[in-house]
Amino acid sequence: MRNTAMTPDEFTLAMADPTLRRVFSAVALGSATSSEILTAAGLDTPVAAKAIGQLTRTGLLVPEGRGRLVVNEGALEEAGRAAAHRREEEAAAAQPDARLRGFVRDRVLVALPEEADQAARHTVLRHVAEATFTPGEEYDERTVTDRLEPWCESGVLDTVSLRRALVDVGVLRREAGLYGLTAATA
């Protein structure tokens, strides 16, 4: 058995192999001895033996008692923790502002905080408005709609609903058919 923790990529690659997946699944479902694994996996002895050896070397299967194998739950848990940590790092890199994480990705609105969470909703909509419009400039409705279109690629909101939400929370003002960015409040 190896000493280093299995990475999520190593686990994925192992499970992508149909033979390794069949043997792993047999053990995960309770087969513990070589003969039980052979029967459950439906593999020839040489093929199953090679897969068992490979899964044991990777640390996914570990011996338990004489001639019995079990899934190394610790290795799976560690790979899961590593995957979650990597996902958090990627989210932080993609959206450095923690207040916007989960809502804005690459200038696309992927979610909008509920109306009950007014502070978070205002923060996200203020970000959209400030990234889209220039202070002191005024825009007609068509221009506002066109500029908001990229934010709506995920389908969370359509451009009209987003424009209305920006006005409703007070980050965009509408006067005489023209729209403009409001001053940020502290």
41 is written with which tokens? 């996996």
* Total of domains in the chain: 2
pLDDT attached to residue 96: 63
User: Which domain CATH number covers 36?
Assistant: 1.10.10.10
The verdict on 112 and 160 lying in the same domain is yes
The CA distance from 67 to 33, in Å, is 6
pTM score: 0.55
Q: What are the pLDDT digits (tens) for 17-56? A: 999 999 999 999 999 999 999 999 999 999 999 999 999 9
Contacts of residue 56, defined as CB under 8 A and 6 or more positions apart, other chains included, come to: 1, 62, 63, 69
Is residue 95 included in any domain, yes or no?
A: no
What three-state secondary structure class fits 111?
coil
Mean pLDDT value of segment 154-175: 92
